[in-house]
Amino acid sequence: MLRIVGSQYYFRRSVPLDLRAWLGRGEVSHPLKTSSKLVARQKAALLYAKTGQCFQEIRRMTTEPTQKALTAVDIIRFYEQFVKDWENYHNVRLKEEEAKHEVEMAQQALRTKAYTQQVDSFVDVIAGHFEQTDAFLNTLRQTQALHTAVTQTREAMLRDEIAGLRKLVVDIKASSGAIASVATPAIDEGHEDEPPEALLSPVTTKRKNAKSQTISAMAQRFILNDASKSADTIKGTKTTLDLFIEAFGDLPVGQVSGTTAGDFHDLLLGLPATHGKSKNRLPIRKAVEAAKEQGLETVSGKTAKNHFSRLSSLWSVLVQREIVAKNPWSQWSFNTNKKTERRCWTDEELALLTPDQWEHRGISRRTYAGMVNVALYTGLRLGEICNLRGQDIENIQGVACFHVRPHPEDGWSPKSAAGTRLVPIHSQLIKAGIMSFLKPDQHFLFPDLPTSSEGVRGAAFGQAFSKLKTKLDLPAEITFHSFRHTVSTKLRNQNASFRELWIDRVLGHEASHRSQGTMNYTSSINAQNLKSVIEALEFSTFRLDIPEI
């Protein structure tokens, strides 16, 4: 039934014997126009059925009577027309199949497009997970770098401490011989016959002598030489003593009475607010007269109260030691309402802070940017930031933290007992590069901050920041301490699940309810809970980048 000629298939079929005379041939042959055997078989089967129908029609035409006698030419024409009709039919079927195939291909294309869209959506989701994974890995790398830096810093500090201890042991051994050679004072035998009252007279004499000691001598003995006092306390006490001595002289403590305290009270409240803030200042009494004549703004009640508090602290020691009978500096009232209410930074004001605007010969722009970033993302006080050391960065329960604590060797301690605390380091701080300040052989985190003659770190920075604030035309209500106000306000306005006690712990505030249970709970707050508080801080307009080294 099939025959291949070259690469094309042909259909063959024998003509029935009774029809060969009419068709004038023994077989019929027709090209199938395909080189595919499968397609050729399909076409041949269809053609076989059609030729069968054709043979049946020819038999009918030749056997049934007709008006016109059929000739062989008529039969052959009929067959040829049949073949043409079959080809047309086949072409129509072919076009139908092609159309059907195009529809199927279009449907397949739509399915492919839908699948591609699903794949794209999946890729987008996976890409987000990849970004999160990449961020997680970066955090791990930063944590590892932190561990390494902290370990190196601790090792360096331990080496320094060991070297110091070795030197101390050598000094003790060297001085032990000198101590052993000191003779025990002989007892004066001349007093054996004196009565008991005579033996007490040196104590009485010593007490009388103490009363005649001046206020500056007593302050030096009990306040300024006390290693446990902070640098801020010592500086403030010196300022108060300078004002008092300038006004009344260095009086013996026994001569200071309530009248003296009252005169100092009136004098302080008459001082101009700018007194002591410039190099060329008037004597204290002339300054009071000038303020009264010119109508100048005077010091606040809070400032006067601070001066009295310092003197009251000194007199409390004197009363306890029975050097004086009473404390004339206590129980005074002052109007402590603030003349200028400090407020938080606005987003627009934070956007003004850039490294290029900082101008100071000794303090770098890098230190300026680092300190402002720490203040805004932790709420630490200026003094706490200035006194951060490399070893104050610790890893607590997997959380990088600033450990704010006393440094007796540097003469500094936090403002209060609650000021000793752990403050987690915000992820934005780590991203900004705060860990790059950590150096193995570096004592302070910000080493280029100078120490003033009173032993205070950060005084120069505070003055420079005030100048920058004036340069940026920021209002008086905005100060460096306003960063702390901003952090406190933003945290307390958060609609979050962390507790008020956690915020107090981060900021170093005393809890409003100081029961024993509250204090125990506060001291054992998990570092992860404190981290959730810190991470709630977001500042969309703040772009003060830390310059690279």
Give the per-residue pLDDT at 367.
95
Q: In the β-sheet with 27-31, what is the strand arrangement from edge to edge?
A: 2-5, 8-14, 27-31
> What local confidence, expressed as pLDDT, does residue 215 receive?
94
Can you tell me the distance from the alpha carbon of 466 to that of 461, in angstroms, rounded to the nearest whole number?
A: 9
Contact 15, 26 (CB under 8 A): yes
Place of tokens 């008092």: 244
Quote the percentage of the chain above a pLDDT of 70.
Answer: 86
Q: How far is CA 373 from CA 355, 448, 536, in A?
A: 11, 17, 15
Phi and psi torsions of 4, nearest 5°: -110, 130
Cα 25 to Cα 16: distance, rounded to the nearest angstrom? 10
Relative to beta strand 399-404, strand 393-396 is: antiparallel
Return the top range by mean pLDDT from 115-119, 495-499, 518-522: 115-119
The 3 state secondary structure assigned to 321-383 is CCCCCCCCCCCCCCCCCCCCCCCCCCHHHHCCCCHHHCCCCCCCHHHHHHHHHHHHHHCCCHH
Domains of the chain, earliest start first: 2-124 (no CATH), 207-320 (no CATH), 347-534 (1.10.443.10)
**131 residue type, one letter:** E
DSSP-assigned beta bridge partners for residue 49: none
Q: Alpha-carbon distance 150 to 440, whole Å? A: 8
Residue type, 70: L
Q: Which of 83-87, 183-187, 400-404, 435-439 has the lowest mean pLDDT?
A: 183-187
Cα–Cα distance measured from residue 527 to residue 530, given in angstroms and rounded to the nearest whole number: 5
In the block, residue with structure tokens 């640098």: 231
d(C-alpha 265, C-alpha 332), whole Å: 9
Supply 105's token pair: 């291909």
Token pair 């027709």: residue: 30
Classified as helix, coil or strand, 131 is: helix
Neighbours of 478 (CB within 10 A): 19
Residue 200 pLDDT exceeds 50: no
Rg of the Cα atoms in the chain: 50
- Identify how many contiguous H helices and E strands the chain contains and give both numbers: 18, 6
Pairing of strands 8-14, 27-31: antiparallel
8 Å CB contact between 272 and 303: no
Residue with tokens 């009173």: 454
Say how many residues make up the chain.
Answer: 549
Cα distance between residue 239 and residue 310, in whole Å? 10
**Contact between residue 385 and residue 446 where contact means Cβ atoms under 8 Å apart:** yes
For residues 464 and 495, the model is more confident at 464
Q: Tell me which of 61-70, 255-264, 509-518, 536-545 is least confident.
A: 509-518
Q: What's the mean per-residue pLDDT of the chain?
A: 83
Residue 262 and residue 332: Cα distance in Å, rounded?
9
CA 426 to chain centre: 3
pLDDT in tens, 277-290: 666 678 888 888 87
Q: What is the pTM of this model?
A: 0.49
The tens digit of pLDDT for each residue in 403-439 reads 999 998 888 888 788 899 999 999 999 999 999 999 8
